[in-house]
Amino acid sequence: MNSKNVLSLLAASVAAVLLVVGGADAAPKKAKYTYLTGSTPQGNASIVVAVKKGMCKKRGLDIGFKLFTSGGVAAQSFIAGKGDWVVTGDWPAVRTWIKTQGEKDPIVGLFPAAHYTDLSVVVSKSSIKKAADFKGKTMGVWLGTTSEFFAAKYLDAYNVPLDAVTYKNIKPAEMVVALDRGDIAGFTIWQPYGWRSEQVSGKKVHILSTGKGFFTEYMVTSTRRSLIEKDPDAVSAMIRCTQDGANFIASNADEASKIIGKHFKIPADKVKRMIVVQNFDVTYNAFFRKAMDELNAFMMSKGKSKMKVNWATNFDSRGLGNVSASLVK
């Protein structure tokens, strides 16, 4: 991908947020806030840039980060009372909302931090050329996560019966090793594990498909309802500085990649490949709700979720609405 195309992608991904970053920020109530994240740039890129470039402090917010091995682990810490905001993948977000529903201070969705199709990948042996080639073979998936949902969406998109493929439950880092050994014919996961597999196995493997055309994954920022009600200025300021960061990424992709790469200890070139395909639009809309509902319905069918998302209860759009009414649809 050449630099012109990179800038075009980035400009498109933040076009919707350029209009909503203005506005005055009143004084937040805490001296320091903590943002819990996973260990990769999905959904975190814009807030990391905003903090590291001093954009949040200009809006009166002092934010520190606490990194975890995954968004799911970060969510567990948030449920235990740590931090002020947490960004996770779509399924950990839904699981957290439902788990704390009915509590005195439930955790609720605040805004979709990013979404993408190209960072969800099917990695396979080079001999696998199409989805139908998985028939009668074993695919590595991380059961009970978006990895399993993505596998089902991929096979369905190409009319491959789910019972024609054997699933093997494997965690992401182990998938790379399992494919290299030949234990599995391929796996479904998110980046950067596809690139890591290519590094380890070379021409023995390839990225067979992304989610483009049939799958969209969301990263979601959640918080406690009490923060929205008792410290609305901090919530508004955080949303605005998140968009400040997204706008910076759009016009300064190389510098942003270095900042993000240093934070997550990932090479800047790989970071750039990850941020150019993320859409940082935070709008709460029907497309977002439909994607989340479809994911949760799948998890209910697998016995991993016990109820539907109640959008009136599990998501609180007041923070977005305070920034701009156009962000709530």
Residue 289 has pLDDT above 70, yes or no: yes
pLDDT score, position 240: 97
Q: Residue 193 pLDDT more than 50? A: yes
Q: What percent of the chain has pLDDT over 70?
A: 92
Q: Domains in the chain, start-ordered, CATH in brackets?
A: 3-116+216-327 (3.40.190.10), 120-210 (3.40.190.10)
The two tokens of residue 61 are 């917010």
Burial class (CB in 10 A: 0-12, 13-18, 19+), 99: middle
Two tokens, residue 6: 């990179």
| Residue the block writes with tokens 């506005």 | 23
Checking if the pLDDT of 11 tops 70, the result is no
The answer to whether residue 6 scores a pLDDT higher than 50 is no
What distance in Å separates the CA atoms of residue 329 and residue 326, rounded to the nearest whole number?
7
pLDDT value at residue 28: 84
pLDDT tens sequence across 64-104: 999 999 999 999 999 999 999 999 999 999 999 999 999 99
**Opening angle at CA 5, ends 219 and 209, nearest 5:** 55
Q: Rounded mean pLDDT of 293-309?
A: 96
Is the pLDDT at 15 greater than 50, yes or no? no
d(CA 280, CA 70): 20
pTM to 2 decimal places: 0.90
Percent of the chain with pLDDT over 90: 89
Confidence of residue 29 (pLDDT cuts 50, 70, 90): confident
Confidence of residue 4 (pLDDT cuts 50, 70, 90): very low
* pLDDT for res 27: 73
Give the pLDDT score at 115: 96
* DSSP symbols for 241-306: HHHHHHHHHHH-HHHHHHHHHHHHT--HHHHHHHHTT-B----B-HHHHHHHHHHHHHHHHTTS--
The model's pLDDT over 157-177, given as tens digits with 9 standing for 90+, comes to 999 999 999 999 999 989 999
For residues 4-17, give the mean pLDDT: 48
Question: Average pLDDT in the 216-245 region?
Answer: 97
Q: Where does residue 101 rank: exposed (0-12), middle (13-18), buried (19+ CB within 10 A)?
A: middle
Maximal C-alpha separation, the chain: 60
Q: How many C-beta atoms lie closer than 10 Å to residue 212's C-beta?
A: 12
Q: What type of residue is 8?
A: S
Residue 26 pLDDT > 90, yes or no? no
Contact at 8 Å (CB) between 284 and 317?
Answer: yes
Neighbours of 140 (CB within 10 A): 26
- The pLDDT score that the predictor gives to residue 31 is 85
